[in-house]
Amino acid sequence: MATLLQRLEAAGYRDGVDLFGAPYDFRRLLQDLKGLIERGSAAAGGKPAVVVAHSMGNLFVLRLLARSSPSWRRRFVKHFISIAAPWGGAVAEMYTAATGDVSAGLQPVRLQVGSFESNSWLLPSSKAFGSRPLVVTTRRSYTSADMPEFLSAAGFPDAAKTYGSRVLPLVEKLPPPGVPVTFVSGTGVATPELLVYGDGFAQFPEIVYGDGDGTVNMESLLAAAVEWSGLPEQPLKVVKIANATHVSVLIAEETWREITEQVAAVEVPSKRGKTAEDSEQLSSLSF
């Protein structure tokens, strides 16, 4: 995200004037984000915001929009640009829970990381993955419907309880946000889609790969678009970027083009058609 922010600043956006960042604090995020959008709109002369989110940030933006009134959304949010959203979780998160993310150096602290409730948000959901096996051992297989059992087997009985009572009711629903949405995601990058273990999770698994952005599976990246497609009250657009990873999608030219086009559309008709480089102040942006 830092590179994208640097490019926006190079195009003339100023922090706290027409460019606003939303720091993550799970205790206060939704209310703070709502206030940030309102302040950003006021700073931009009352123009609605173009909200840009990456990865898990999309899940929080959706919760805010779904909980807000239609009148609030019409006044304050012009467009939602969703980048690399794990709408239906990711098989890679099951690897983190069972084995530990070696590439990120998380294997020694697997038990601590696995206990974080935010990690449970990223486990595969049935909305995206259906009933196909995602993890297989010599004793049994686990589908998206078996997350409590999987968490218990991986050594997280407390997380298994909270998943069923608190996480599942949230992740199994994808209410439309009620504002135009552009989905931007990478495709064509090998992404774990099946983990084959031996007897339990003591050893590293054999990994079967499928399509995605290297982190999030394509079924998950497109889950919301599939869910909302055809709803007349929910305009949407899907942009797939070949060979873009979960991180490199942020600096892809296609992503930059979508952001500048949507921001330019906020301007009054006399100014439309200008790019971010041409306009003094287009609108507020929230990350």
Catalytic residues, by residue number, are 55, 213, 246
Q: How far apart are CA 285 and CA 236, in angstroms?
A: 19
Q: Among 28, 34, 26, 31, which Cα is nearest to 167's?
A: 26
CB-CB neighbours of 228 under 10 Å: 18
Report the alpha-carbon distance of residue 166 to residue 154 in Å, rounded.
19
Say if CB 122 and CB 178 are below 8 A apart: no
CB 187 within 8 A of CB 91: no
- Alpha carbon distance 246, 243 (integer Å): 10
